[in-house]
Structure 1
Amino acid sequence: MFNWLSNITDHAQLLTQRLHHLLAPPGATCLTCGTRAILSSLYPGICPRCVQQIPWIRSIRCLRCGRGVGCPDCARPHMQNRSFILNRSAVQYTPLMKEWIGMYKFRGHERYAPLLTALLIQAFQAMSEEHISALAKEPSAPVAHSATLAQPTKPQWLPDAVTYVPVSSERLAERGFNQAERLAAGLATACRLPIVDLLQRQINTTKQSFKSRGERIETMKNAFSINPEGIHLIERLYRESHLTAKKGMSHDEPIQILLIDDIYTTGSTLDACGQVILNDGFTMGIPVEIYTLTLARS
């Protein structure tokens, strides 16, 4: 008797689930708002309404740091000697982006990883097109030609390698991963770029978000160093870049490294990391150019 009643209950639950599935709106549940809808094919896990809310930095006001609004920082005299050529960021660091990044960075919500990586990849594509356009305006810039007239290819700027801002061993143990490394790896895979582990963090700095501008800059001094294998990686990049370079390329042509982080606030972290790489390159007599790309810009 008990087994019979149990079978009836299970059957009723199965019918209820099927009925719910048939009557529910088509699609899947949006990662960020919970709405059931046909999800975006470009931005994994979110619905079209959430796609519309992404605060893209579409108009760059500061060509140095990539800010979309007025930027007093880059006008400061001591900011003229930063280690990176320029920074670009995908989105403004709004409360919505703070929530998305926080869900991944602090709560380990893995489903956010493909979404955030997709945002970074789109920002890199825009950065690449901007770089090519700038080169095309230079009188001496080489003109990229397509392989065949039948299949023209769009010129694209690609750095020699991608690297990332490291976290301390304490922070790595706490979170279980380095979000900047994950973003860099996703970008490098999608764009078929080599990713290199150049840097290590020497000290465990406290959270930067609670510090003033001056405190951030002071904290970052001596916070990073080159990895033990970093020197060999730079040498290899320099050698390979010149082996594959076009005929006539100068041996003084610098290697270009793209440095990745999740959030740009004052740029002190990126500047400190870039300076370490430049210093080691200078010691070895290898010219280096640092470009930076972040997910968000505050």
Structure 2
Amino acid sequence: MKWWEVLFQAKEFCCLCDHPHRNVSWAGVWERICPSCCLRLSPISGPCCPLCGRQMGRVQLCGDCRQHPEGILQCNVAVLRYTFYPKQLIRLLKYRGRERLAVPLAEMMAERFYETGIRVNGVTYVPLHPEKWKERGFNQSERLAHQVAQQLHRPLVSTLDKIFPTPPQSQSSRRERIAALQGSFQVKNAYRIKLTDSWLVVDDVYTTGTTLLECARMLKEAGAKQVFSLTFAR
């Protein structure tokens, strides 16, 4: 094999499932995903809720967003509908040690956000409580945000702390989520009254939006002009 054939040889595996899939290293993230995985992903397209990004039949606020206060979160941008396979990918990332999945997931997220035309000054993420971080060993939102910031050429800043633990949000009602999350985040001392730019908060999934709204509220109180959020799924 000649040197240029080595340099430009194709990769042989899907970046999500590791099954054989011929592609090249410089290809876009969607070209590095095998056809089988692509069939199991449902990109959000067409009319969406203008606040949370949920795919709908027409552009209007969804039921969750009608209950949210205005002027805190500008909007959420999401890549995929939260169907079975995206849920499985997130579980593999968070609980099964497949941390490398943060790279292709974040590439899809950054590409989707860039397409919106929204521009921000900095990227941050939803923090974990120290006990949860110790249990898991990493914060999946931080891993995603790190890759997103690189793709968008924006600084990644750890602006928030989780100051007390909350129960798993997937098992809570909307009212329970709101009650549990109130006051659970705070802006780090170094950034208080200094966050005067537009910020992007990264998380893995937007469900009811309670977590991201609480993070946005804290950033706004610290002086942020605008706060957007970006998630892999909605």
Structure 1 length normalisation: TM-score?
A: 0.68
Residue 145 of structure 1 corresponds to which residue in structure 2? none
Of 202, 207, 225, the residue aligned with 2:168 is 207
**2:203 is aligned with 1:272:** no
Query: CA RMSD, aligned part only?
Result: 2.1
**Given the superposition, is the C-alpha separation of residues 63 and 232 from structure 1 closer, same or farther in structure 2, using an over 3 Å criterion?**
closer
Residue 75 of structure 1 corresponds to which residue in structure 2? 66
Residue 60 of structure 1 corresponds to which residue in structure 2? 47
**What is the deviation of 1:224?**
0.3
Computing the radius of gyration from Cα coordinates, the structure with the larger value is 1
Q: Which runs of 5+ in 1 are unaligned?
A: 1-25, 129-156, 239-254, 282-286
Q: Which AA in structure 2 matches 1:50? A: C
**2:94 is aligned with 1:110:** no
Q: Which AA in structure 1 matches 2:36? A: R
Asked if structure 2 preserves the Cα contact closer than 8 Å seen for 1:108 and 1:175, the reply is no
Q: Which AA in structure 2 matches 1:276? A: M
Residue 163 of structure 1 corresponds to which residue in structure 2? 124
C-alpha deviations, 1:180-211, integer Å up to 9, x for none? 11111111111111121110001111110000
**2:36 is aligned with 1:49:** yes
Once residues 165 and 133 of structure 2 are traced to their aligned partners in structure 1, the CA distance between those partners, rounded to angstroms, is: 10
Q: Which AA in structure 1 matches 2:132? A: R
Once residues 137 and 23 of structure 2 are traced to their aligned partners in structure 1, the CA distance between those partners, rounded to angstroms, is: 29
Once residues 102 and 74 of structure 1 are traced to their aligned partners in structure 2, the CA distance between those partners, rounded to angstroms, is: 26
C-alpha deviations, 1:29-60, integer Å up to 9, x for none? 43555532214732286323323432110123
Residue 233 of structure 2 corresponds to which residue in structure 1? 296
**Given the superposition, is the C-alpha separation of residues 223 and 180 from structure 1 closer, same or farther in structure 2, using an over 3 Å criterion?**
same
Asked if structure 2 preserves the Cα contact closer than 8 Å seen for 1:39 and 1:48, the reply is no
Q: Runs of 4 or more off by more than 6 Å in structure 1? A: none
Of 78, 82, 86, the residue aligned with 2:75 is 86
**2:14 is aligned with 1:30:** yes
Of 74, 84, 87, the residue aligned with 1:98 is 87
Residue 203 of structure 2 corresponds to which residue in structure 1? 261
Q: Which AA in structure 1 matches 2:225? A: V
C-alpha deviations, 1:95-138, integer Å up to 9, x for none? 1001111101111212312111111112212222xxxxxxxxxx
Residue 249 of structure 1 corresponds to which residue in structure 2? none
Q: Which AA in structure 2 matches 1:69? A: M
Asked if structure 2 preserves the Cα contact closer than 8 Å seen for 1:90 and 1:294, the reply is yes
Once residues 114 and 209 of structure 1 are traced to their aligned partners in structure 2, the CA distance between those partners, rounded to angstroms, is: 24
Asked if structure 2 preserves the Cα contact closer than 8 Å seen for 1:264 and 1:294, the reply is yes
- Indicate the SS of the match to 1:172: helix
C-alpha deviations, 1:206-243, integer Å up to 9, x for none? 11000011111111101100112122752xxx4xxxxx
Once residues 33 and 185 of structure 1 are traced to their aligned partners in structure 2, the CA distance between those partners, rounded to angstroms, is: 22
- Indicate the SS of the match to 2:211: helix
Asked if structure 2 preserves the Cα contact closer than 8 Å seen for 1:198 and 1:227, the reply is yes
Residue 140 of structure 1 corresponds to which residue in structure 2? none
Structure 2 length normalisation: TM-score?
A: 0.85
Asked if structure 1 preserves the Cα contact closer than 8 Å seen for 2:159 and 2:187, the reply is yes
Q: Which AA in structure 2 matches 1:53? A: R
Asked if structure 1 preserves the Cα contact closer than 8 Å seen for 2:181 and 2:214, the reply is yes
Asked if structure 2 preserves the Cα contact closer than 8 Å seen for 1:66 and 1:87, the reply is yes
**2:180 is aligned with 1:180:** no
**2:211 is aligned with 1:220:** no
Asked if structure 2 preserves the Cα contact closer than 8 Å seen for 1:120 and 1:294, the reply is yes
Identity %: 33
Q: Which AA in structure 2 matches 1:99? A: Q
Q: How many residues align?
A: 218
- Indicate the SS of the match to 1:200: strand
